[in-house]
Amino acid sequence: MSAFFDSHDFEFTCACCKRQIRARVADMKRPDYKCPLCGAEFDTDDFRRGIDKANREIEEFKRRLGNIKIDIKL
């Protein structure tokens, strides 16, 4: 399964140092992800589950899209 969102950037504010961070989604899904500016650790379990669910739904949508038959008459 391709992970549609993994190569995308995600912007958020660190709860510890209050600075803006931009990170790849694939990096944010790691359980040991830390703020690159202050080193604060993040609990990314919910984020990872949400992104994984969205990726599964996109794959299902692409599968269903491929099953659509179009009959065009001119």
Find out whether 6 and 21 touch, Cβ atoms under 8 Å. Answer: no
**Residue 72 in domain:** no
pTM over 0.85: no
What is the rounded CA–CA span in Å between residue 57 and residue 45? 18
Write out pLDDT tens, residues 42-59.
899 999 999 999 989 998
**Residue 55 in domain:** yes
Find out whether 34 and 41 touch, Cβ atoms under 8 Å. Answer: yes
Domain count, the chain: 1
Which residue type does 10 have?
A: F
Q: Residue 59's domain spans which residues?
A: 9-66
**Residue 19 in domain:** yes
Series of mean pLDDT values for 10-residue runs along the chain (74 residues): 79 95 91 92 91 91 82 76
